[in-house]
Chains A and B, each alone.
Chain A
Amino acid sequence: MPLDLEVIASSSDRPLPTPDAFSGPFWAAARQHELVVQRCDDCGRFRFYPRPMCPDCHSMRAQWTRCSGRGMVYSFTVVRRPLARWFASRVPLVCAVIELEEGVRMMSNVIGIDPDQVRIGLEVTVSFEDIDEQISLPVFEAVPSDAATG
């Protein structure tokens, strides 16, 4: 079921993903604090977001594959206005496009850092916000600079 955005706009509840039969493994892994993406059985390329066909070689065969969780900020923006009511007390927040080591990109938040310190190229590692029994949301934290150089 798609999110009912009219409801979440005025609700104090956080807008959350709704796993379905296809994306279920992604969210089940996230609940176990593992980041997985699909890897094509035929051409070996990774893809994100979850979908049935490889956009490169058109194979329908793929495996959910665990990622290292490491990546870097490909681009980011500090969002100063709330998308919906739940975000009102959470802005400014950092929305970023994260490029994972596996080569795929995903949108996420960069947390635990002063928004004004975020830069393109910042090295990050995945972390998980436990929301409820079904959902843990992948977010990213800056890798401490001594670890980043190691």
Chain B
Amino acid sequence: MSDGVAVVGIGEARVGRDAGCTPWELHLEAIQAALADAGIGIEDVDGLISCPSTIGDHARHHVLLAEQLGLPVKAYTDSSRVGGASATAAVRDAAAMIRAGMAEVVVISSADTQRSSVGRRDTPVIKMAHYHHADYEIPYGPLIVSLYALVAQRWMHEYGWTAEDFAEIAVTQRFNASLHPGAQERDLITVADVLSSRLITDPLKMLDCSLISDGGAAMVVTSAARAAAMNQRPVYVRGMGNAYSYYYCWNLPDYTDYFRDMISASASRAYSQAGLSPHDVDLAFVGDPVGPCVLIGLEGLGFAAPGQAPSFAAGGACRVGGRLPVNTHGGCLSYAHPGAPGQHLHVIEAVRQLRGDCGSRQVEGARIAVVHGLAGVITSHCTLVLDNEVPAA
């Protein structure tokens, strides 16, 4: 396909508890790792999309990063600012730029040091609170996860979802993380462990919530024509879709079906562009700031009927080896959640799976992956459909 694009390089930098450096170093290290993986040099790159860090953000983050990177050709640089969906949106934008002839080899990077900033003046909780409304939310004291808790409560109320249903997601993703040597949390947990972990904001417990991590992530996207000559087996971007709704969640028409419908709108565009359906998908990645988001995502992506995601995910169905492996590296709940890199790491794991490089957590015969980036309080969405075979002309 003449206008095909592919991910040809992936890289991570010091993902985990304490990077011991600034986000700028993590951006640069992750980019170097992704370029090395692709087998190219910085001189081969002509486009850059940065997903800005919460710690040390800058109004023209991409310009500063391009300068620090010594990028010789700057045909196109920009930042992707869609919160947790920044990386998936950046792949979409890179593909659009490549297809428009504006750039040929685009590097995307994300990095943050939220974990090692805990307790300092510039704390992640406070940085994240910038996304709350200063007048109409902050004075009432909600945590970021409280906003998801409000959503989870409505699903419990309307669909009868339970704390056990949410816990199953945490248990599933921890199982997957136990198979990944680089995961921040690898010790197996049970539903009882989740239920007895510290209550943070009802109904969410500590183990329902994503981790706080440091780390960087980067990837290289290029045309299918250039991809064929590079180091790695290309992973083609077959379909892309997005859907944006509101910012402040109190404006949403409802707290249940509307979320599913928005995810579905984003996913439908991606499936349609790919000429595929949920039945063709071998593994899925869903943004997971808290466990309940994964359940909502499974419905929006077309894997479970309305209200039925908990039965779909029950019994280990979303573990590696299950009916539909989800977030096979452990996701933001168990692998790492450094901020913008959190869901960037979902894309990286999807690429690794489609290359067949995942060792003991490899999904056998994986060909098609769907990666759904979600941001805000499940209000901004970008879906990618990835394929490891050359798309038909």
Using CB atoms and an 8 Å cutoff, list the residues of chain A in contact with chain B: 2-3, 5-6, 9-10, 14-19, 23, 48-49, 55, 74-84, 87, 90-91, 93, 95-97, 105-109, 120, 137, 139
Q: 0/1 per residue, B73-95, Cβ < 8 Å to A?
A: 00000000000000000000000
- The closest CB in chain B to the CB of A129 belongs to B139
What's the nearest-Cβ distance from chain B to residue A103, in Å? 11
In the complex, the answer to whether A75 meets B153 with C-beta atoms within 8 Å is yes
In the complex, the answer to whether A6 meets B142 with C-beta atoms within 8 Å is no
Q: Given A49-B248, A77-B202, A83-B129, A109 and B255 touching (CB < 8 A)?
A: no
**Chain B residues bordering chain A, tally (CB within 8 A):** 38
Q: Given A49-B133, A95-B140, A78 and B153 touching (CB < 8 A)?
A: no
How many angstroms between the C-alpha atoms of A80 and B203 in the bound complex? 11
Q: Given A107-B137, A107-B142, A78 and B202 touching (CB < 8 A)?
A: yes
Q: Could you say which of B117-125, B188-196, B344-352, B356-364 contacts chain A?
A: B117-125
In the complex, the answer to whether A90 meets B149 with C-beta atoms within 8 Å is no
What residues of chain B lie closer than 8 Å to A76, measured between beta carbons?
150, 153
In the complex, the answer to whether B201 meets A5 with C-beta atoms within 8 Å is no
How many angstroms between the C-alpha atoms of A79 and B153 in the bound complex? 13
In the complex, the answer to whether A2 meets B140 with C-beta atoms within 8 Å is no
**What are 6 A-B contacts with C-beta separation under 8 Å?**
A17-B135, A48-B250, A75-B151, A80-B200, A93-B140, A139-B140
What residues of chain A lie closer than 8 Å to B255, measured between beta carbons?
74-75, 97
- The closest CB in chain A to the CB of B133 belongs to A49
* Interface of chain B: mostly helix, strand, loop or mixed: mixed
Q: Given A5-B126, A80-B200, A106-B250, A97 and B150 touching (CB < 8 A)?
A: yes
- The closest CB in chain A to the CB of B198 belongs to A80
Q: Contacting B141 at CB < 8 Å: which of A6, A16, A18, A83?
A: A83
What residues of chain A lie closer than 8 Å to B198, measured between beta carbons?
80
How many angstroms between the C-alpha atoms of A10 and B142 in the bound complex? 17
Q: Is B323 part of the contact surface with A, judged by Cβ < 8 Å?
A: no
In the complex, the answer to whether B141 meets A87 with C-beta atoms within 8 Å is yes
Q: Contacting B250 at CB < 8 Å: which of A6, A14, A105?
A: A105
How many angstroms between the C-alpha atoms of A2 and B154 in the bound complex? 31
Q: Given A6-B121, A95-B150, A107-B250, A79 and B136 touching (CB < 8 A)?
A: no
How many angstroms between the C-alpha atoms of A75 and B153 in the bound complex? 6
Q: Is B102 part of the contact surface with A, judged by Cβ < 8 Å?
A: no
Q: 0/1 per residue, B192-212, Cβ < 8 Å to A?
A: 000000111111100000000
Q: Is B138 part of the contact surface with A, judged by Cβ < 8 Å?
A: yes
What's the nearest-Cβ distance from chain A to residue B253, in Å? 10
In the complex, the answer to whether A82 meets B141 with C-beta atoms within 8 Å is yes
Q: Contacting B140 at CB < 8 Å: which of A5, A19, A49, A108?
A: A108
Q: 0/1 per residue, B102-136, Cβ < 8 Å to A?
A: 00000000000000000001110111011001111
What's the nearest-Cβ distance from chain B to residue A62, in Å? 16
In the complex, the answer to whether A75 meets B141 with C-beta atoms within 8 Å is no
- The closest CB in chain A to the CB of B144 belongs to A83
In the complex, the answer to whether A77 meets B153 with C-beta atoms within 8 Å is yes
How many angstroms between the C-alpha atoms of A2 and B157 in the bound complex? 35
B130, B134, B141 — most chain A CB neighbours (10 Å): B141
How many angstroms between the C-alpha atoms of A134 and B199 in the bound complex? 35
Q: Is B2 part of the contact surface with A, judged by Cβ < 8 Å?
A: no
In the complex, the answer to whether A79 meets B157 with C-beta atoms within 8 Å is no
What's the nearest-Cβ distance from chain A to residue B237, in Å? 33
In the complex, the answer to whether B126 meets A90 with C-beta atoms within 8 Å is no
What's the nearest-Cβ distance from chain A to residue B248, in Å? 7
In the complex, the answer to whether A107 meets B140 with C-beta atoms within 8 Å is yes
In the complex, the answer to whether A137 meets B139 with C-beta atoms within 8 Å is yes
What's the nearest-Cβ distance from chain B to residue A49, in Å? 5
